[in-house]
Amino acid sequence: MNLLAGVRIALTSLRGAKLRTFLTLLGNIVGTMSVIAVVSLIYGADKYVSQVVLDEGTDVFTITRVDNIQFLTDFDAFLESLNNPDLTLDDRNWLAERMTTATTVGATISQNANLQAGSRKYRSTRVRGVTEDYTVLEDLPLMLGRHLSLQDVLNARQVVVLGSDVAQELFPRRADPVGKEVKIGGRHFRIVGVVQEQGTVMGNNRDQFAIVPMTAWFKIFGSGHSLDLKIAAADLEMLAEAKDEATFLMRMKHRLRPLARQDFAITSSEQMLSIWGGISAAIYGALVPLVGISLVVGGIVLMNVMLVSVTERTREVGVRKALGARRLAIMWQFLVESITLSLVGGIVGILIGVLLAWGIAMVSPLPFAIAGWSLGLGLGTTFLIGAVSGTYPAWKAAGMDPVEALRHE
C-alpha cells in the first residue's frame, strides 16, 4: 500500500502543477527521446548494411580499379589509385581459367541511360552489363521470362532483363512484357525477363535497372571502361585464401614486381561491415556523453523540485510522524514519488523518441527499427535517476523533528 500511495501522490502532484512538472521532467524526456531515436536509426542502418551484405553474399569479394573507400580512409592512396589501369574481360578470363579456390568469376559494369518503349520513357536507368554467371553472384529471382545466357554474351545479343519498376513504367497495361522491345542508347533490345520486386532500401530503389550482356553493353557505351570483377569463393572458410590467390594472379597478369604497389583493389563484405562498425561505434560513443548531460541536468532539476516539495509538505511530515509513522516510511514515500516522476518522464521520452524515429523514416530514406534493449535502457536509466535524485530529499524529510515540523507554517 505504501508503494501505491506514493505513486498516487506523485501523479496528483503531476496534475496539480503541470508547468512545474513539465520543466522538471524535460531533461529526462529529452535524454530518453534522444536514446530511442538515435539508437533506432542506427539499428535500422545496421539492418540495411547487413541486408546489402546478404544480398551480395558473404563469400563474394570484388576486384575494382579504385577502392572508393580509400577516399575516406587514405586520401593520398586514393589519388594515387586513380592512375590504375582499367580492368578488362581479359583479366576476368585470366582469373576464371586459373583460380582453384573460386567457384565463379564474373564481371559487371553499369552506366545510366534513358530507356524508351514506344512513346513512354524511363529516364536515368542503371544499365548493367554482366557476364553470364551474374545470377550466381547475386540474388535476382525472376518474376517473368528467363535470365541472360552464355550464348547471349558470346553473340552480343541485344536482349535485356528489366527491374520491376522499369517494366511497369514502360508497359503499364501489359501483364507480360517479355518479347517486347525497348530502346537503349539508340539500339533496340528484346525483353527476355523481368526480376521480382526487390523494394527500396535506404532510399535506393532496387527495381530501377536493366541488365544486358556485357558484349552488348560495349556496343552502347564503348569498351573503354573499367569492369568490376566479382568472385565467389568455393567455401566461406576459403575466402581469405581466395583473396590471396586472386591477388597473386592479378599481380602476375599485370606484371607487377614483388615490392610494387597493387594497381587494383579488393573489397568485400567484411570491409563494409568493419567500416560501418567503426562509424556506428563512434555514434554510440558520442551519444553517451550528450545524452548523459541532459539526464544529469534532469536529475538535478528533479532533486531541486523534490526538495521544494519536502519544504512545502513539512507540516504533513510532522503530522505523520506524530501519528507514529516511522522514519523509513517517510523516506520511502518521497523516494517512490521521485522515481514515479522520473519514470513518467522516461515513458513520455520513449513515446516521443519512437514517433520521431518513425517520422524521420517516413520523410527520409532511413529505415525504421526499434531495438528492444534501448527501451529497457531508457526506462532503467530514468529509474536510476529518480532513485538517486530522490534519495537526499527523502532522507531530509525522514530526518525532520516532528515538533518543529508541526510548528511550520
Whether 298 and 206 share a structural domain: no
On whether both 111 and 30 belong to a single domain, the answer is: no
Residuewise pLDDT in 10s, the chain (409 residues):
456 665 666 566 556 566 666 766 777 777 777 777 777 777 766 666 665 555 555 678 899 998 776 666 667 777 887 888 999 999 999 999 999 999 999 999 999 999 999 889 998 899 999 999 999 888 889 999 999 999 999 999 999 999 999 999 999 877 789 999 999 988 999 999 999 988 765 556 788 999 999 999 999 999 889 999 999 888 877 888 999 999 999 999 999 988 888 899 888 766 666 666 666 677 767 766 766 676 677 777 777 776 666 666 666 666 666 666 676 766 777 677 777 777 887 888 888 888 887 776 676 555 666 777 777 777 787 778 777 777 766 676 666 655 554 555 5
Which among 263, 285, 311 is the end of a domain?
Answer: 263
Q: Is residue 58 part of a domain?
A: no
230 and 302 fall within a common domain: no
- Asked whether residue 110 is assigned to any structural domain, the reply reads yes
- At 250 the pLDDT is 94
Whether residues 317 and 200 fall in one domain: no
Judge if pTM exceeds 0.85.
no
Whether 67 maps to a domain, the answer reads no
Is the same domain home to 181 and 210?
Answer: yes
Residues 105 and 145 in one domain: yes
In angstroms, the CA 385 to CA 390 distance is 8
* 302 shares a domain with 177: no
Asked which of 233, 263, 293 is the last residue of a domain, the reply is 263
Q: Is residue 230 part of a domain?
A: yes
Inside any domain, residue 72: no
Q: Is residue 65 part of a domain?
A: no
Same domain, 303 and 341: yes
User: Which pLDDT score, from 0 to 100, does residue 10 have?
Assistant: 58
Query: Into how many domains does the chain fold?
Result: 2
Q: Answer yes or no: is 338 within a domain.
A: yes
- Do 330 and 387 sit in the same domain of this protein? yes
Looking at residue 275, its pLDDT comes to: 64
> Which pLDDT score, from 0 to 100, does residue 127 have?
95
Same domain, residue pair 213 and 314: no
One domain for residues 34 and 127? no
Which residue, of 225, 242, 263, is where some domain finishes? 263
Assigned domain for 62 exists: no
Domain range for 37 is 2-51+274-407
My answer on whether 227 and 317 are in the same domain is no
